[in-house]
């Protein structure tokens, strides 16, 4: 039985997340700070060894359910435990349940990440859920600086794994004078304008502009984990001297992995391939920040063979971005998906019914 502590010191918690092999930016206190400004609250549960060091933990986010019927608890890419230690895992789930119930959670939604035995999850009382919050499938690029034998891996080696068109477009962005810079707080407004253009062009929803301002304030401008950067691409017309912003990306890095979380691009000067220049700059930035993997964060939740057989014909949902991401030499990987822990079966059924009605209205005939 481990000792437990609720809401440990943020610095101690973030250091633990950064060092944990399953550490993720969604488990950092900075991410909870971002979500706190948009209707979420949070708690951190930690398990301690005899020396008082954190050995396991979970950041739980809470949000009010519709019609004031209670709260939903949510654990993204957690808990951070040694899944081979059954005592640790059982203690962690016991503490999560107690804490969530005390905070009026009617159910807890869990997205634990990769390489976890689903039989273990079921034996712990979790049930598979069709409602995902984070994309379960992604493309992960190996960007290590050394292989397992200590042999250096150069940028040329990473480029060689990409398809020919991606390499060509990276070169083209340089040849066509696309300039990449690390964005400032003032650039967030420019990013938001580009994001609105992207949303209208590709028909997907985005957060309110203030959301990305908070992301910059709490993550990019914050020296605490995770590391973050806003990269912006621009072009300056040699004849007029006018500079136009062509794209931007937010990248976070923690625990050996960098994440491409948000991106936006202009509808003008698209032949300059600014998006390719941005992604390559993001890979370079990630290697400098000790990332071994670069997560392109979200592709359609289909097997690799289905993705490859259908990407030329599909453009709905995440299919459009898959066409771009597939060329970067990464591997399609999938988490174990989303699982629910139900504390109040009646309210859980009402919530699922509410989701069904909402989906039907959103996807029904116009």
Q: Say which residues have a Cβ less than 8 Å from residue 197's Cβ, sequence separation at least 6.
A: 264, 265, 266, 267
Does position 44 have pLDDT exceeding 60, yes or no? yes
Q: What is the pLDDT of residue 363?
A: 54
- Helix/strand/coil (H/E/C) assignment for every residue in the chain: CCEEEECCCHHHHHHHHHHCCCCCHHHCHHHHHHHHCCCEEEEEEEEECCCCCEEEEEEEEEEECHHHCCEEEEEECCCECCCCCHHHHHHHHHHHHHHHHHCCEEEEEEECCCCCCHHHHHHCCCEEECCCCCCCEEEEEECCCECCCCCECCHHHHHHHCCHHHHHHHHHHHHCCCEEEECCCCHHHHHHHHHHHHHHHHCCCCCCHHHHHHHHHHHHCCCCCCEEEEEEEEEECCCCCCEEEEEEEEEEEECCEEEEEEEEECCCCHHHCHHHHHHHHHHHHHHHCCCCEEECCCCCCCCHHHHHHHCCCCCCCCHHHHHHHHHHCCEEEECCCEEEEECCHHHHHHHHHHHHHHHHHHHCCC
What are the residue ranges of CATH 3.40.630.30 in the chain? 3-130+337-363, 138-334
Percentage of the chain lying above the pLDDT 70 cut: 98
Residue with tokens 């009382």: 125
Q: What is the pLDDT of residue 67?
A: 86
What does the pLDDT look like over 118-147, one tens digit per residue?
Answer: 999 999 999 999 999 999 999 999 999 999
The topology under which CATH files domain 3-130+337-363 is Aminopeptidase (3.40.630)
* Residue range 99-117: mean pLDDT, rounded: 98
What does the pLDDT look like over 212-229, one tens digit per residue?
Answer: 999 999 999 999 999 999
Handedness of CA 13, 17, 19, 21 (dihedral sign): positive
What does the pLDDT look like over 326-365, one tens digit per residue?
Answer: 999 999 999 999 999 999 999 999 999 988 888 776 654 4
Q: Return the CATH number of 138-334, one of 3.30.2130.10, 3.40.50.170, 3.90.1170.50, 3.40.630.30.
A: 3.40.630.30
End-to-end CA, the chain: 56
Structure tokens at 342: 């139900």
The CA-based dihedral angle spanning residues 82, 83, 89, 95, taken in that order and rounded to the nearest 10 degrees: 70
Distance CA(194)–CA(88), nearest Å, equals 46
Report the residue count for the chain. Answer: 366
* Residue range 289-304: mean pLDDT, rounded: 96
């Amino acid at each position: 039985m481990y000792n437990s502590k609720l809401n440990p010191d943020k610095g101690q918690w973030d250091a633990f997340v950064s060092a944990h092999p399953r550490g993720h930016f969604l488990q950092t206190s900075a991410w909870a700070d971002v979500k706190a400004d948009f209707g979420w609250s949070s708690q951190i549960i930690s398990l301690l060894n005899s020396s008082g060091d954190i050995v396991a933990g979970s950041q739980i986010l809470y949000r009010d359910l519709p019609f004031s019927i209670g709260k939903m608890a949510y654990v993204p890419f957690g808990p951070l435990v040694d899944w081979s230690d059954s005592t640790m895992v059982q203690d962690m789930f016991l503490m999560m349940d107690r804490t969530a119930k005390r905070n009026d959670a009617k159910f807890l939604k869990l997205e634990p990440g990769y390489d976890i035995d689903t039989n273990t999850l079921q034996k712990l009382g979790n049930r598979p859920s069709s409602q995902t919050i984070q994309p379960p499938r992604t493309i992960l690029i190996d960007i290590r600086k050394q292989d397992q034998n200590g042999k250096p891996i150069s940028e040329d080696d990473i480029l060689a794994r990409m398809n020919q068109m991606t390499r060509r477009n990276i070169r083209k962005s340089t040849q066509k004078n696309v300039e990449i810079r690390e964005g400032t707080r003032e650039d967030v407004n420019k990013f938001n304008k580009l994001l609105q253009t992207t949303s209208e062009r590709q028909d997907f929803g985005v957060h309110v502009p203030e959301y990305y301002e908070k992301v910059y304030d709490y993550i990019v401008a914050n020296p605490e984990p995770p590391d973050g950067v806003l990269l912006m691409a621009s072009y300056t017309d040699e004849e007029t001297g006018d500079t136009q912003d062509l794209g931007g990306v937010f990248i976070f890095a923690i625990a050996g992995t960098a994440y491409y979380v948000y991106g936006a691009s202009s509808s003008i000067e698209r032949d300059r391939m600014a998006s390719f220049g941005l992604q390559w700059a993001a890979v370079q930035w990630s290697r400098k920040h000790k990332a071994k993997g670069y997560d392109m964060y979200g592709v359609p939740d289909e097997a690799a063979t289905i993705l490859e057989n259908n990407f030329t014909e599909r453009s709905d949902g995440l299919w459009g971005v898959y066409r771009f991401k597939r060329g970067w030499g990464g591997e399609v990987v999938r988490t174990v998906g989303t699982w629910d822990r139900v504390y109040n079966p009646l309210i859980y059924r009402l919530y699922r019914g509410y989701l069904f009605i909402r989906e039907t209205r959103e996807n029904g005939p116009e």
